[in-house]
Amino acid sequence: MKKLICLSIGIVLVALVGCNNQSAKIGVVDVLKVAKESNEGRKAYAELDALVKSKQEELKQKTDSVKNLEDKLGKAPDESKQPIEEELKKAGDEYHKLAISSEAEIKNRNTELHTKIMEDLKKVIKDIGSDEKFTLILIAENTPYFQKTIDISDNVLKRYNESTKGQ
């Protein structure tokens, strides 16, 4: 049984390396680093940051409105509290809806930007693999250990920035 397993592993290795005595060329890419440091990644992070700040400002305005109503309610005589309480409940509900929709909008935009960058990076990685005759290119996040000598992240970053220059 052990001989059969060893033979199977050997066949797979020969198939991977090829029968032409060339050594396998393997590279590793830190796609998170490339995405973060790339021109497109920086634009995406700036866009997300602006969106977050915008939503925070909207929520702050709603919070201030709710606080003003709470103050007004505390100072109002008992006979005039009913309409203020209704207005406060309505403002609280609006705040809650705004918070939920803001979070969803930020999350969706983040997903859209991340997906676009990852799709573009996959194309660049495939091109590099083909152009430079790599046998295998792995993603660093899924690779527990590798020698830094096979890290091609800087090359991918450079090519990615060049490919997105005019966009």
CB atoms within 10 A of CB 30: 19
**Cα–Cα distance for residue pair 152/68, rounded to 1 Å:** 56
Residue 79 counted as domain residue: yes
Residue 152 counted as domain residue: yes
Give per-residue pLDDT as tens, 21-53. 568 899 999 999 999 999 999 999 999 999 999
pTM over 0.85: no
Residue 11 counted as domain residue: no
Kindly state the helix (H) or strand (E) to which residue 139 belongs, with its residue range.
strand 136-139
Cα end-to-end span (Å), the chain: 57
Residue 40 counted as domain residue: yes
Residue 21 counted as domain residue: yes
Residue 140 counted as domain residue: yes
Residue 2 counted as domain residue: no
Residue 150 counted as domain residue: yes
pLDDT band at 161 (very low <50, low <70, confident <90, very high): very high
| Location of structure tokens 């899924």 | 142
- The reported pLDDT for the residue numbered 7 is 43
Q: In terms of pLDDT, which residue wins out, 41 or 20?
A: 41
Check which CATH number belongs to the domain holding 25 and give it: 3.30.910.20
DSSP state of 132: T
27 forms beta bridges with 137
Per the structure, the complete domain to which residue 105 belongs is given by 16-163
Q: In terms of pLDDT, which residue wins out, 17 or 77?
A: 77
Number of domains in the chain: 1
Give per-residue pLDDT as tens, 79-109. 888 888 899 899 999 999 999 999 999 999 9
**Cα–Cα distance for residue pair 37/110, rounded to 1 Å:** 16
**Cα–Cα distance for residue pair 94/13, rounded to 1 Å:** 62
C-alpha distances in Å from residue 97, one per residue of 54, 66, 110, 164: 16, 14, 20, 37
pLDDT band at 72 (very low <50, low <70, confident <90, very high): confident
Supply the mean pLDDT for the chain. Answer: 88
pLDDT band at 10 (very low <50, low <70, confident <90, very high): very low
pLDDT of 120 > 50? The answer is yes
> What SS3 state is found at 27?
strand
